[in-house]
Structure formats: structure tokens, C-alpha cells
Structure 1
Amino acid sequence: MAHRLGANQYGKAECRVVRIVRDTPRHEIRDLNVSTSLRGDFADAHITGDQAAVLPTDTQKNTAFAYAKLHGVTSAEDYALALGSRLLEACPAADAAQVRVEEYGWDRIGDHSFVRRGGAVRTAVVTVGHDATHVLSGISDLVLLNSTDSEFKGFLEDEFTTLPETDDRVLATSLVARWRHTDADGGGIDWNASHEAVTATLLRTFAGTYSRALQEMLYAMGSAVLDAQPGLAEIRFSAPNVHHHLVDFSGFDVDGLSNDGEVFVAADRPYGLIEAQVTRDGAAAADEAWLAVPGFC
């Protein structure tokens, strides 16, 4: 029976890179979780065990740490672009190098003292190839909630449907969003300002939009981001619907106790998972197979 090697890639996952700038008494900190991957002609490594073309994952790890010093970390995107270019240069058999970064925020409490910030995580997925470069900036674990101005009704029903229609519900999600830049080589892009602007648009749109479904909310948020950011080709969302169920007080023997949409139980599973992509008309397509993020549209 004939066989052939299919798509493959390899790299070093989750290098915890912490860069502290201490050139002055007032220090700065960037806290990253960095994963690297190389894709290319590595058939011999799989079929015959010949590692001559393989840049070790340990070398990729070391390069990630070294570049935090040699190049610096002004933004997740800028660092990932530099690291990806270096890995591609160092491995001739590679067609593309991908660097994925999660950045954890710290708040300053002194010149050299910080407290770890909870909540949303900044992300970047940078793919550097010989012919094209793609930058997906993003955010994850962005927990949002509207306590009203959300409905869900008029949906398809069959013999297994028990969900009641509602015209006033809690809409909550832990949002993952990633947006792709058209100027992927990074010329003139202020990555930090861009990230702040997109995040602000997402929050403003979520707070100011009446929702007939989470799907409609995602499309409104994506459209608002693309309208405000002409340098973006697309935005992708993964949004678990964090269900809030009204607690039934009817069985309690307490006079005057009623629950008029005020007390809920937040269910962590199972949950609806809504994923969507909003794309600018005429934007160049990306390499979907390479840019796809597991568990993400």
C-alpha cells in the first residue's frame, strides 16, 4: 500500500519569556508566552529519520529568549515578526515560520514593582514566509456581559426543543478575537495603538448594540472594527455563550420572595459556541490552513 507524508510542522510550544528593561530606575516588564513553528520540506526527518534539515526546537526556544534581549519587546507583533524572520533565515528547508504570542499584562505599583493584571490576554500570530507575511493581532478571555437589551426568539423548533423564547436575557461571553493586518510587513504600524483602538471599538459596540442573537452582535462588532480600521483585512471571533439561567424561587417557602430577572446561576458548560469571520470586500485571502487556530474559526 502506498503512503505519503501529509501536512506537517514542528516547533517549541509555550516558552515563558519575561523581558525586564532596567536601564533606568523605573523598570518596564513584558510577560510573554511564545510558541514557534516551522513548516517546509521536512520529509526526510519523518520518513528516513534524517535530521539534517531540522532546526532543533531547543534552538527555537533559545532564539526566542535571545531575541527578547537582542531585538527587544516593544509589542507582541514587532517581536514576533523579528523572531519569525530569524527562524526562517536559520532554517533553509522551511517555507514559513510562525510565532504565536500571548501577552499577560502587569500594572505598575512602583518604579520596579508590579501586580499581575487579570482578565483579557493580548495575542499575536505572525507567519513569516518567503513570499508573504501575515499578522493576526488579537485578544482572548475578554469577558463581556450585557444585563439587558438582548433577546432570542423566532428560532427553529422540533420535538426536542425545550428552550423558551425570550425578549430580555443576559448576554455574556468570554470573547476571542483576532484581526489580520493588510500591511503585514509592519511598515509604519503602531501595534500598541492599533490594539488599543480595536479593543475600544469592540467594547463600545458591545455596550451600544441591541442584540437579537450573539451572531448579530459579532457581525456588528466586526463591521465596526473594519469601518474604523482601514488597515485590517478581516476579524475572526470565537464566542462561547455564557448562559445565565434565572433561579427558580417558586419552591422556597418565603413570603414576598420573587425573582424578577435579578438572580441568575452562571453555567460554565455545556455552552453554545458561536464563531464568525467578518472580511473586508476585496481583501486578499490568507493561507487558511496555516493561519487556522485550533478551536477557532
Structure 2
Amino acid sequence: MFAHKLFKGSKSGPQSFITDSNYCITDHGYGKDAVKLLHVLRNGPAHSIKEFEIGTHLKLDTQKDYLKGDNSDIVATDSQKNTIYLLAKKHGIQNPEEFAILLSKHFLSKYSHVNEVHVHVEEYPWQRICQEETGCMEPPGTTNSNFSSFNNRQKHNHAFVFTPTALRYCDVVCSRDAASPTVISGLKGLRVLKTTQSSFVNFVNDEYRSLPDQYDRIFSTVVDSSWEYSKTENLKFCNVWNIVRNVIIKNFAGDPYVGVTSPSVQHTLYLAEKEVLDMVPQISAISMTMPNKHYFNFDTKPFQGLVPGENNEVFIPVDKPHGTIYAQLERKDMQSKL
């Protein structure tokens, strides 16, 4: 759940303590993971919900709990769990990033011996149920209701449907000697597929190659992406998250009627990352991973007597093994913690 590397290399507090002549603790921390929370905002008849899974990790300014078994500085993980619920009750919840920043700053201000706080938040993808009235023939006085359509439909006041198109998350790290928190947002599990306008040709041709040039193939991937902010003041985190998701989908799919050519997964990935940095100046770096989820053409040549002709309709999904393509794009002269 946690990207522990965000703690690595931190300059807050002592970084190593000599325990004997041979060893020293170079990294440490503890916390509460997988705290589940549902917050309901009741604004008259229209209700809003946010469901989170939250982790909080603290790094203390001493290591006496490790070295001496002295627990006097430990803020119990159960206390961290209770803090999550109480701050949600007191302040409400707007989005993962703002709540993670609120939690981080609370632990630093409440406990003077806490040097660094890392909060990880994952948001469960709930969306309002929407109703579409169609013109289908029904008995007099009734209508046919389609509850699966979301565009320009009547939104339900207090009923929701789970729509896991992609999982939203964030990581926030606050330390005493940092001028501002490190805020990293992300999405994972965005699975997309297109049936044409994807090719892969002119790659290395040596004695190990068995894959032929592919001039028109199915392109499917599951996108994971994270991005770091250089500035967060007055930033609309939900808008930015939607922008990144939409940019990824647009560069993958293109115009709904014309599409867009993908000469490689690498090129599609780069174009999406570049457009994100062009559109959101507060993002200093973005990282993206696109594993290639293969769909191989079923060979019908041995069965021409049963099904004559070429096959371009039936494919075999193969999840493993798969290629993995990734890249991180940063603005020049900026160092990222991604």
C-alpha cells in the first residue's frame, strides 16, 4: 500500500543511530494501514459520499523504541486510526489530497517529537446513480428506465453505483524542515482497449526475434500513473485528476470517429505525459506504466473446411507474460520524488 521510498533519503531528523560498532538503523517508521472510512455529507435531500482507505506512518526523532524498548514516544497506531475518524467528523472531506494534508499537518503540530508524516489515501470510485427515461413502448402510464447511463441524466439524490474505471490515490509527506508538503497524486487500474490503429514495426531483427512486424493490432493496456505537484495552493485536485485521466484516454483513443495512430506504446505514453505537463503547470513530474495486455489472433488456417477465409474477429486474451512500458517525464531543473 505504501510507497516507502518517499521516506528514503529524507533529511528530517537524525538519519542513523549507532547501535553497536557494526550496525546502524538507516530508516524507520510505523503506522496504521488500511483504515476504511465512509463520509456522508447530507446537504438537504442531496447527499454526497466519499469512501477512503487510509494509511498513516510516522517517523519519530528518536529510535529508543527500537534500541531500548522504550515506548514513551510512540503514538499508538490505534490512536492514529481514531484521529482519522475524528478529523473527518470535525472537518469533513473534500478530496484525498486535502484530507491527507490535513492529517499530516495535524500529527506534526500535535506531537513535537514526530519529524515526518506520510499519509496514503485511496478513494473508492462511487458515482451517483443516474436515470434515463427512454421512449420504448411500455404499458400505458409507465416508462422504461435505464440506470446505466451517466451523461446528462437525472442524478439520484442518495443512491450510488460502484464504477471502478480507475482507482484514485495520493501520497502526502510532511516533515518539519520542509517548506511545503510533498504531494503525489495518481490513478491505477485504468484498463483500455482499441481494435485498430495500433502498430509495432521495424524493431530489432536478430536471431532471437520471432515476433513479425504488426501493422494493425489490438492495443490494450492497464494504465498506472502518478504525478507530483510543485505547487498546491488553491489547486483544484479533483479537476486535475480528471484532466490527467482524460488526457491519457484521449491520447490512447483519439477522436471518436477518426481515432489516433499508435506506432508504439512508448509513443502513446510520452504524448500523454507531455500533454499533462503542458496543461497543468503545477505538476512538476509525471510517471506512467503501460503493460501490454495481449490479444492474439486465433489461427483458423487449419480449419478452412469448417470456417474458410482469414480471421480478424476472434482473438485469444493472454495476460501473462506481457511487455511493460514505462517512463517518467519531468520539467527541467526539477527533482522529483516519484
Contact (CA 8 Å) 1:77, 1:124: kept in 2 or not? yes
Q: TM-score, normalised by structure 2?
A: 0.78
Unaligned runs of 5+ in 1: 293-297
**2:267 aligned with 1:247, yes or no?**
no
- Could you tell me which residue of structure 1 aligns to residue 54 of structure 2? 34
Shift of 1:17: 0.9
Query: Take 1:64 and 1:70, find their aligned partners in 2: how far apart are those partners?
Result: 10
Q: Deviations over 1:54-96 (max 9, x none)?
A: 2221111111122221121111111111011112223333322
- Could you tell me which residue of structure 1 aligns to residue 152 of structure 2? none
Q: Which amino acid aligns with 1:190?
A: K
**2:192 aligned with 1:192, yes or no?**
no
- Could you tell me which residue of structure 1 aligns to residue 204 of structure 2? 156
Contact (CA 8 Å) 1:104, 1:121: kept in 2 or not? yes
The range that moved more, 85-94 or 262-271, is 85-94
Q: Deviations over 1:23-82 (max 9, x none)?
A: 422211101111112234342222222222222211111111222211211111111110
Query: Take 2:252 and 2:37, find their aligned partners in 1: how far apart are those partners?
Result: 33
Query: Take 1:117 and 1:235, find their aligned partners in 2: how far apart are those partners?
Result: 25
| RMSD of equivalent CA atoms | 1.9
The range that moved more, 41-50 or 230-239, is 41-50
For residue 224 of structure 2, the aligned residue among 172, 176, 182 is 176
Superposed, which structure 2 residues align to 1:87-126 within 5 Å?
87-109=107-129, 110-126=156-172
Q: Which has the larger radius of gyration?
A: 2
Contact (CA 8 Å) 1:55, 1:90: kept in 2 or not? no
- Could you tell me which residue of structure 2 aligns to residue 135 of structure 1? 183
Superposed, which structure 2 residues align to 1:222-237 within 5 Å?
222-237=273-288
SS in 1 for 2:24: coil
- Could you tell me which residue of structure 2 aligns to residue 295 of structure 1? none
Q: 1:28 to 1:169 in 2, by over 3 A?
A: same
SS in 2 for 1:92: coil
Query: Take 2:116 and 2:99, find their aligned partners in 1: how far apart are those partners?
Result: 16
Q: Deviations over 1:213-240 (max 9, x none)?
A: 2122111110011111111101111221
Shift of 1:102: 1.2
Query: Take 1:258 and 1:71, find their aligned partners in 2: how far apart are those partners?
Result: 65
Aligned pair count reads 285
Q: Which amino acid aligns with 2:300?
A: F
Q: Which amino acid aligns with 1:240?
A: P
Contact (CA 8 Å) 1:76, 1:103: kept in 2 or not? yes
Query: Take 1:206 and 1:232, find their aligned partners in 2: how far apart are those partners?
Result: 21
Q: Which amino acid aligns with 2:287?
A: R
Shift of 1:277: 0.5
Shift of 1:255: 3.7
**2:247 aligned with 1:201, yes or no?**
yes
Query: Take 1:20 and 1:275, find their aligned partners in 2: how far apart are those partners?
Result: 38
Shift of 1:272: 1.4
Q: TM-score, normalised by structure 1?
A: 0.89
Shift of 1:259: 4.5
The range that moved more, 76-85 or 192-201, is 192-201
Query: Take 2:68 and 2:205, find their aligned partners in 1: how far apart are those partners?
Result: 56
SS in 2 for 1:217: helix
Contact (CA 8 Å) 1:36, 1:99: kept in 2 or not? yes
Q: After TM superposition, where is structure 1 displaced by more than 6 Å over at least 4 residues in a row?
A: none
Shift of 1:253: 5.6
Q: Which amino acid aligns with 1:198?
A: V
Q: 1:142 to 1:42 in 2, by over 3 A?
A: farther
Q: 1:71 to 1:260 in 2, by over 3 A?
A: same
Unaligned runs of 5+ in 2: 1-20, 130-155, 255-259
Q: Which amino acid aligns with 1:27?
A: H
Contact (CA 8 Å) 1:176, 1:239: kept in 2 or not? yes
Contact (CA 8 Å) 1:12, 1:60: kept in 2 or not? yes
